[in-house]
Amino acid sequence: MKWKLDDSMPIWIQLAEQIAQRIVSGVYPMGEKLPSVRELAADANVNPNTMQRALSKLDDDGLTETNRTSGRSVTASVEAINAERKKMAEQQMKRYLEGMAQIGFSNAEAKKMIELGEDEE
C-alpha cells in the first residue's frame, strides 16, 4: 500500500488516517512495533516533523502508544481498535449516502439498493 497525499487536507491528517487504516486492517498488527518516525517519514516522503504530528494524533486517539526510548507500537486494546473501525465504517456509510444523494437518491432508496443489489460473491 502506497501513500496517497493530496492538498485537499493537511498532510498530517491524511497520514494519520492512512496509518489508522493500516492498523485497523492489520497491516500493522495489534501490539506490534511501528516503523520509526524517520522511516515512515522517509517512506511517505515527508518531513519527519510532519509524520510525527500524524503519529502523535494516533497516540491521542489511543490507537498507538509510544515508549519514549524504544519506539512506538500499535495499541493492544481491542476496544480502541474497534472504536476506530466503527468510526471509519460510519464515515464510509456517510460518504455513500451523500454520494447517492447527489445523484438524486433518498437515504431510503440508497438503503434499498444495497439490500437488493450486489449479490455476487
Applying CB under 8 A, the residues found at the interface with a second copy are 4, 6, 8, 21, 24-26, 60, 85, 88-90, 92-97, 99-100, 102-105, 107, 110-111, 113-115, 117-118, 121
Q: Which does 6 bind (CB under 5 to 8 A by kind): a second copy, DNA, none?
A: a second copy
Per-residue interface string for the shown chain with DNA, residues 21-40, x marking contact by CB under 7 A? -------------x-xxxx-
> Cα dihedral angle (24, 26, 32, 36), rounded to 10 degrees?
-80
Helix (H, G, I), strand (E, B) or coil at 73: strand
Asked whether the CA dihedral 23, 27, 31, 35 is positive or negative, the reply is: negative
Buried b (16+ CB within 10 A) or exposed e, 32-41: eebeebeebb
- For DNA, the binding residue among 8, 69, 92, 102 (CB under 7 A) is 69
Least CB distance to DNA at residue 58 (A): 10
Least CB distance to a second copy at residue 67 (A): 18
